[in-house]
Amino acid sequence: MAKYHKNFIFTISLLLSYLSLSISYYDHHNKCSFPKECGKAKTNGMFVFGSSLVDNGNNNFFENRAKADYLPYGMDFPNGPSGRFTNGKNIIDLLGEHLKLPIDFIPSFKDPSTKGLKIVYGVNHASASSGILDDTGIIAGNVTSLRQQIKDFEEESLPELENVLGCTTNDSLPNYLFVVGVGGNDIKLYNLGGRKFVLTGVFPLGNYPLVKLNMPNCDFCVTLLNQAAQLFNTNLASMVAQLRTLMPGSHFVIINTYNILNQILSDPAPEGI
């Protein structure tokens, strides 16, 4: 998966270079009591929303079947399985390293210790199996929908952040990167103060192992699902183009996860797969 990580990080690098020219970081930064370490990073931190692609352990605190707290998940992660749906670090961890954030990992919202100074560099609200619709993932049990993730951010993370930094979120949030693993509430986040957004498209749905298992002889089904994913990604790009005019001062980048993963599936050897 090395190329996937490199492509993702390269795209983010371009985004951050652009944002550094587009946003008055200094003016906002001086109004808030950020730790001195913040000045060494490319952004003050990240607030993360989405599903299994970016979940870093929130579902560990729920009764559900959408968990990754057992092997082989985490086999290459420090201290073993953590709730990340990967063998080691997930893309949020790698992005945090690239941004030179002065913490090892963005804390999970549901972790009781995520409060006080621990949230200065951001909070991960993502919950595996969740989606745009409130009932997405309900078959897996208790998961946090995107709507609830945003509500938790607004009602708990933001007041805590204001208290710690001693300034309003209108002053602090422009210094943060918002990563949205599933679309739908970008305007809400914008109204709360967010200005820099990273959106991920939909993977080739027809290539999911579950689809291959349940429909092994249905090539049409695979094609249909992949076409649906491509249609979503195309419309997402169109929607973001409209949002830029509706949300002055906002900046978006869309990660084409469909093409990245499709390339890996088509030619896995260079990735060591």
CATH number at residue 144: 3.40.50
Least confident range of 80-94, 101-115, 251-265: 251-265
pLDDT band, residue 199 (cuts 50/70/90): confident
Cα of first residue to Cα of last residue in the chain, in angstroms, is: 8
pLDDT for residue 30:
59
Q: How many C-beta neighbours within 10 Å does residue 253 have?
A: 18
Q: What is the tens place of the pLDDT at every residue in 61-106? A: 988 888 999 999 999 999 999 999 999 999 899 889 988 898 999 9
The residue length of the chain stands at: 273
pLDDT score for 91? 87
User: What single-letter amino acid sits at 91?
Assistant: I
In this predicted structure, what is the pLDDT of residue 6? 52
232-241 pLDDT, tens digit per residue, is 888 888 888 8
Dist CA 268 CA 270 (whole Å) = 6
What is the model's pLDDT at position 19? 44
Selected residue with higher pLDDT from 183 and 110: 110
Own/partner contacts of 213-217, CB < 8 Å, gap of 24 or more, are none
- Residue 11 pLDDT greater than 50, yes or no: no
Tell me which residue range forms the domain holding 119. Answer: 2-98+105-271
Q: What is the DSSP letter of 59?
A: G
- Per-residue pLDDT band for 191 (boundaries 50, 70, 90) equals confident
The phi and psi torsions of 75 (rounded to 5 degrees) equal -65, -25
Provide mean pLDDT across the span 164-189: 79
| pLDDT (0 to 100) of residue 155 | 96
* CA-based radius of gyration for the chain: 18
Domain count, the chain: 1
Percentage of residues in the chain having pLDDT higher than 70: 83
pLDDT, mean of residues 47-60: 92
Segment 23-46, tens digit of pLDDT: 334 444 557 888 877 666 668 899
| pLDDT in the model for residue 142 | 87
